[in-house]
Amino acid sequence: MSSLAIGFWGMGVALFMIALRVPIGLALGLVAFVGIAILTSWHAAFSILSLIPYETAASWELSAIPMFLLMGALAFRSGLTTALFDAARIWLGWLPGGVAVATNFACGAFAAASGSSLATTLTMGRIALPEMKKGGYDMGLATGVVASAGTLGSLIPPSVLMILIGVFAQTSIIKLFVAGIIPGIVSALAFALMIIIRAKLNPSLAPRDKVRATWSDRWRVTIGIWPLPILVLSVIGGIYSGFVTATEAGAFGAALTFLIAWTNRALSWRVIKDSFWDALVGTATLFFIVLGAVLLTRFLAFSGLPTFLAQFMAASDISPLAVILICGACYLVLGMFLDPLGLLFLTLPIMLPVFNTVGLDLTLMGILIVKFVEIGLMSPPVGLNVFAVKSLVGPDVTLSTIFKGVLWFLVVDLVVIGLLIAFPGIVLSLPELMGL
């Protein structure tokens, strides 16, 4: 059997193992180890296995991930996000579907501090879902907005997914962060517009919010959320001003969150212990998958599969737009069955050489991949964000109800992706303006 055939077989086996719910890191690492042994020797496979884990875990760029996870955990555990939903509701509650619109933008704001879609969904869902249920909202809309707006955590910087893409693509993480700002805002605005139109056409979906606030109430609650904007602006500003690098920003943000929580007298040993535990578990889980992905990349390099596909694309004289559409179709189909990290690490080693061959901008493709992965977070039958919301609402709301509610947001996301492809300046203009 040729090396190329072994590469194809390896990818098929990895997909099969993940479909059987074998842990992603184990599936990728095991296929890579056996594949390398077949292509070279068992001695070489064991040698690579002894070197890769340390080299990967010791990566300076990846050290930002545990720090950003700690920052998000501290922000959540110390209650820095508690007033966020109230502020959004007081300012936006007068709109049709106002509480859902407020939830949407509150998710976007928290995403900028957490960097995680799942954390955003769970945090804001605990606050917003009871309020929408009490207000008589259609539970499909209520659960749909929480599951969907939670995906903004992958797009709005700082984003753990962007750090991983930057490391694997060997492109600027800062540039990816900047490039994600406008698409993140556009996505949040598009979600809000859809909610308003649906609530206007069918008021029974989202009864008008009965909360009425004076201007003094608005300013009072806005002042109450000061820690989160300061935290986000300090971290983002520190990166873009050059005060800290993208890697150092995680530690800077975690230290600043610690200081803000202490100033607010929201810090306790329980908060500190739980925050560190959350960050530790998240880091260990993520790095285990990353190690498997790095081993898979090495195996595919030995097999020559990425080079073959890149040369095939070049020989076929396929257009960059066709590559984007093929890439999007692959992500949308695989996203129905794989979780985001498995999808990302299974495809990047193959996709990146193809993007380079046809001359696609890696920053643009990085943002598009994040959008594709976001859709995977909402798509049946896996849809991690959907199951996260299900864990919050219990047996009162069925999975089919949540997926039906999410469907509207999936359509909006596809429209936004179409805009990003048709007008790449939405992604690239801000980095170019900042000279990145």
Residue 181: pLDDT band (50, 70, 90) is: confident
User: Whole-model pTM?
Assistant: 0.78
Q: Are 331 and 376 in contact (CB under 8 A)?
A: yes
Alpha-carbon torsion angle 420, 425, 426, 432, nearest 10:
140
Please report which confidence band the pLDDT of residue 190 belongs to, taking 50, 70 and 90 as the band edges. Answer: very high
CB 100 within 8 A of CB 195: yes
pLDDT digits (tens, 9 = 90+) for 193-219: 999 998 888 888 877 766 666 667 667
More confident of the two residues 210 and 236: 236
Backbone angles phi, psi at 202, to 5 degrees: -135, 85
HEC readout, 309-377:
HHHHHHHCCCCHHHHHHHHHHHHHHHCCCCCHHHHHHHHHHHHHHHHHHHCCCHHHHHHHHHHHHHHHC
* Mean pLDDT (the chain, rounded): 80
Tell me: the pLDDT tens digits for 368-383? 988 888 887 777 766 7
Give the domain ranges of the chain: 1-58+272-302, 59-267+304-433
Q: Above pLDDT 70, what percent of the chain?
A: 90
pLDDT digit string, tens, across residues 281-295:
878 877 887 788 778
pLDDT the model gives residue 412:
92
pLDDT at 194: 92
Q: How many CA atoms lie within 13 A of 276 on its CB side?
A: 8
Q: Is the pLDDT of residue 178 over 80?
A: yes
pLDDT tens track for 256-282 = 888 888 887 777 888 888 888 888 887
Residue 211: predicted pLDDT: 63
Spatial distance between the Cα atoms of 160 and 68, rounded to a whole number of angstroms: 8
| Mean pLDDT computed over 80-99 | 72
Tell me the pLDDT tens digit for each residue of 20-68: 777 777 888 888 888 888 888 888 888 888 887 777 777 776 777 788 7
Q: Give yes or no for residue 93 having a pLDDT over 70.
A: no
Residue-level length of the chain:
436
Alpha carbon of 192 to those of 75, 167, 257, 285: distances in Å? Answer: 25, 33, 29, 33
Is the sign of the CA dihedral 408, 409, 412, 417 positive or negative?
Answer: negative
Residue 115's pLDDT band (cuts 50, 70, 90): low
* Separation between Cα atoms, residue 13 and residue 8, nearest integer Å: 9
Phi/psi-derived region of residue 41, left when phi > 0, alpha when psi is between -120 and 50, beta in every other case: beta
Give the residue from 186, 111, 113, 109 showing the smallest Cα distance to 154.
Answer: 111
Tokens read off for 208: 């008008």
Q: Prior bond to 349 cis, omega within 30?
A: no
Q: Which of 170-179, 356-365, 416-425 has the highest mean pLDDT?
A: 416-425
